[in-house]
């Protein structure tokens, strides 16, 4: 399937026409799909929250690609000016670059997006350019509203996860959800703030994310028919 060793993390360079993005690729044995992570504003491939979710997905047979949406040069500029972190159209192009790289690397796995904060909007915009390719999207504390007119074009089953104490973002997610016509769901995590720093809340995000992707990632698209409750219960014990 791939020339990358399984059950190992690989530092990769994601080459585009004019940019090179740095990332971490992990493919477990018998992987059922691949999730591309779009981090939030001011974050990177080193995001501890995204790495936590990725590890749970890996243990559930889902490959992960965590990568920087900006080049090192752009990150330096962004730290001073914040010029790029809210440019969701640019960030969506970087997701398209990563998805194209995965195809060229012949990973041969159904793909999905996981977006946090502004990365969620970038993921939804990118999905509308790849309706045939992206099978599911999950947003963690995201700003899907920033996807604007693209929301009604999204076709992939989309899960929006928000903390119960993040009232402003809850309202923004509800408004965005109302504009979407795909399979969609809003999950509100009790006791959680915007960053899901409270005990157990990020584990709940990981569980919801894993279940969504296991439901909708399959070679020919659509919802999985396999009853894998036993394997999910085993992983649940790990993340609690």
- Chain segment 71-95, per-residue pLDDT in tens: 889 888 988 888 887 899 999 999 9
**Domain regions of the chain by residue span:** 9-239
Residue 131's pLDDT band, with cuts at 50, 70 and 90, is: confident
CA quadruple 209, 215, 220, 222: dihedral sign: negative
Pairing of strands 184-189, 158-163: parallel
Q: What is the pLDDT of residue 55?
A: 97
At residue 92, the 3 state secondary structure works out as helix
What CA–CA distance (Å, rounded) separates 137 from 123?
7
CATH architecture for segment(s) 9-239: 3-Layer(aba) Sandwich (3.40)
Q: What is the pLDDT of residue 221?
A: 53
Rounded to 5°, the CA angle 25-183-167 comes to: 80
Tokens standing for residue 16: 């585009």
């Amino acid at each position: 399937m791939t020339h990358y060793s399984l059950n190992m993390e690989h530092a990769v360079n994601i080459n585009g026409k004019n940019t090179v993005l740095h990332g971490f690729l992990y493919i477990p044995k018998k992987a059922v799909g691949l999730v591309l992570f779009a981090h939030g504003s001011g974050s990177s491939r080193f995001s501890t929250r995204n790495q936590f979710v990725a590890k749970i997905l890996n243990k559930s047979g889902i490959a992960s690609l965590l990568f920087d949406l900006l080049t090192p040069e752009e990150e330096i500029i962004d730290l001073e000016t914040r010029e790029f972190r809210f440019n969701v159209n640019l960030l969506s192009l970087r997701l398209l670059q990563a998805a194209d790289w995965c195809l060229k690397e012949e990973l041969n796995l159904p793909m999905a997006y996981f977006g946090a904060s502004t990365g969620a909007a970038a993921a939804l915009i990118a999905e509308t350019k790849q309706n045939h390719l992206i099978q599911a999207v999950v947003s963690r504390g995201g700003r899907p509203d920033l996807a604007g007119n693209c929301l009604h074009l999204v076709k992939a089953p989309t899960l929006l996860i928000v903390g119960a104490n993040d009232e402003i973002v809850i309202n923004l997610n509800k408004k965005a959800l109302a504009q979407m016509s795909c399979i969609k769901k809003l999950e509100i995590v009790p006791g959680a703030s915007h960053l899901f720093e409270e005990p157990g809340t990020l584990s709940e995000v990981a569980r919801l994310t894993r279940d969504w992707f296991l439901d909708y990632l399959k070679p020919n698209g659509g919802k999985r028919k396999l009853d894998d409750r036993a394997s999910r219960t085993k992983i649940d014990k790990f993340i609690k």
